[in-house]
Chain A
Amino acid sequence: MDSTLTVLSVLTAFGLYLTSLTAAGMIFTLMLHRPVLGGLPLYRWILWCVVGAVVFACLAFALTATALTGTLSGMFDRAMLGLMWDTPVGDAFRMRVIGLVIIAAALLISWIGDWVAAVGAAVVLGSFVQVGHVGAAAGTLGEIVLFLHLSTIALWMGVLAPLRTLAARANTQWQAGDLGHQFGRQALVLLPVLIAAGVFLTWSILPSAAAVWTVYGLSLLGKIACVAVLLGLGALNKTRYVPGVRNGDATAVSGLRSTLLVEWVMFAAVLLATAILTNAVTLPT
């Protein structure tokens, strides 16, 4: 039973990370690249991600209660849910749902500006900082670094679907070229932040070099390997495919679409590894 509940918790956390980060990232993409995003149903995509994130957030909260009872019925145990409500897990859950509601309201109500959706996205990302080992290991600095880390990942994830969709249509390939070019320039700032934050967080969490060979450490290594592949693909896009797309090279368009798909798969692997680290693996002491 415990193994089943653990697998369910990991899958739910994976869904939560995927939908929350994609929603936040697409909002950031909207804010930063609006002129080249014409014709994309970005609001609809974001809203679907928000709906998914709300469902996964509720499920994740309820599944945490199953760990307290050891049975699936713990999901509906009011005493357990009430107990969690008053801990940082409850704080994070409330913050997450409030952030998601802010995003949905900002996108659905026309007079509310997109900047409000960006505030909602920041609140959602901030909710992931409320719980976990980073705060205990590295204090406020660790929480700030984790927030930056999540923001850069979200920004990268958020640009993938718009870029791939724009590249697929002949009449919007110039937009794909411009979006890829603009993102490539931003990446020169984002990537050092992402890498530095990742190194700092890894150094903060792992108690010793020997901890690398524990289940936790090996999962972390798997995650880092996926990030290394992502960095390589990003470099390939920036130096080869995006310039090719801007020059109207059909081979470059095909290459860009393929690498963006692989990047998406790599991000999914990173998030799955993170879900395993946060739900199934005990931090070595």
Chain B
Amino acid sequence: MLRLMTLCAVLCATTAQAHSPLKSSVPADAAVVATVPQSLDMTFQNPIRLTRVAVAVNDGTATDLDLGSVDGFVLLYSLPITDQGAGDYAVEWRGLGDDGHPMQGTFRFTVE
């Protein structure tokens, strides 16, 4: 039973990514940029309160972005990002929708 549920959880994680409430981001998912952007901009379909945003470069250890200035449920976020040089940046975000639903998603971009 536990194996079945774990399988289901894995399947569902895939489904959740396919229906992310993230409307757009800058840099966009799968984008290739010349330099590391100063900030990570995220636009959501509905108001959300971000609770964790972690960035991992070249599949290394993820670093949490500072969410100290985040307050309330909003549609737009612009979070300062640390320059870690060229490479593949993986962003994982988590948050709470104003309807009480926890949400999460991932996107990646490459810095040449």
Complexed CA–CA distance, A3 and B14 (Å): 11
- The reply to whether the CB of B69 lies closer than 8 angstroms to some CB of chain A is no
The segment from B25-33, B34-42, B97-105 that touches chain A is B97-105
Residues of A in contact with B (beta carbons under 8 Å apart):
2-4, 6-7, 10-11, 64, 67-70, 80, 83-84, 87-90, 92, 131, 136, 214-216, 276, 280-285
20 residue pairs from A and B, CB less than 8 Å apart? A10-B5, A64-B102, A67-B102, A67-B104, A68-B51, A68-B95, A69-B51, A84-B96, A87-B98, A88-B99, A88-B100, A90-B100, A131-B100, A136-B99, A276-B5, A280-B9, A281-B8, A282-B15, A282-B19, A285-B19
Q: Give, as a whole number of angstroms, the nearest-CB distance from A269 to chain B.
A: 11
A70 with B12: CB separation less than 8 A: no
CB neighbours (8 Å) of B5 from chain A are 6-7, 10-11, 276, 280
Cβ-defined partner of A3 (8 Å) among B13, B54, B98: B13
Interface pair B51/A83, CB less than 8 Å apart = yes
Taking a contact as CB atoms closer than 8 A, the residue among A2, A3, A11, A281 that contacts B15 in the complex is: A281
- Say yes or no: B94 contacts A70, CB within 8 Å: yes
Interface size on B, residues (CB 8 A): 27
The answer to whether residues A2 and B13 also contact, given A68-B96, A83-B51, A282-B19 and a CB cut-off of 8 A, is yes
**Structural contact, A7 and B9, CB atoms closer than 8 A:** yes
Chain B residues within CB distance 8 Å of chain A: 2, 5-6, 8-13, 15-16, 18-19, 49, 51-52, 54, 92, 94-96, 98-102, 104
Q: A67-B104, A69-B51, A69-B52 are in contact. Are A276 and B99 (CB under 8 A)?
A: no
CA distance A116 to B12 in the complex (A): 41
A68 contact set on B, CB distance < 8 A: 51-52, 94-96, 102
- Asked if B12 and A281 make an inter-chain contact with CB atoms under 8 angstroms apart, the answer reads yes
- Residues of chain B within 8 A of A92, CB atoms compared: 100
Provide the residues of chain A in CB contact with B6, threshold 8 Å: 3-4, 7
CA distance A90 to B52 in the complex (A): 20
Enumerate chain B residues within 8 angstroms of A89, measured Cβ to Cβ. Answer: 100
Of A64, A131, A216, which contacts B99 at CB under 8 A? Answer: A131
Question: What's the A-B contact tally at a CB cutoff of 8 Å?
Answer: 80
A215 is contacted by which of B15, B49, B92, B99 (Cβ under 8 Å)? Answer: B15
Q: How far is the CA of A216 from the CA of B8 in the complex (A)?
A: 11
Residue of B12, B95, B104 with most partner-chain A CB within 10 A: B12
Q: Which residues of A contact B102 (CB under 8 A)?
A: 64, 67-68
Cβ of B6 to closest chain A Cβ, rounded Å: 5
CB closest chain-A residue, reference B54: A70
Contact partner of A282 (CB less than 8 A), chosen from B12, B98, B99, is B12
A87 touches B99 (CB 8 A): yes
| Chain B residue nearest to A275 in the complex (CB) | B5
In the complex the two chains form, what is the Cα distance from A7 to B4 in whole Å?
10
| Least CB distance, B10 to chain A, in whole angstroms | 6
Contact A67 B10 (CB under 8 A): no
Which among B9, B18, B49 is the interface contact of A6 at CB below 8 angstroms?
B9
Name the B residues within 8 Å of A283 (CB-CB).
19
CA distance A92 to B13 in the complex (A): 25
CB distance from B9 to the nearest CB of A (A): 4
- Across the interface, A87 reaches (CB within 8 A) one of B12, B19, B92, B100, namely B100
Least CB distance from A174 to B in Å reads 39
Asked whether, in the complex, the Cβ of B12 is within 8 Å of the Cβ of A280, the reply is yes
Q: Smallest distance from the beta carbon of B55 to chain A beta carbons, Å?
A: 14
B51 touches A215 (CB 8 A): no
By Cβ-Cβ distance, the 7 closest A-B pairs, closest first, are A67-B102, A89-B100, A6-B9, A87-B100, A68-B51, A88-B100, A3-B9
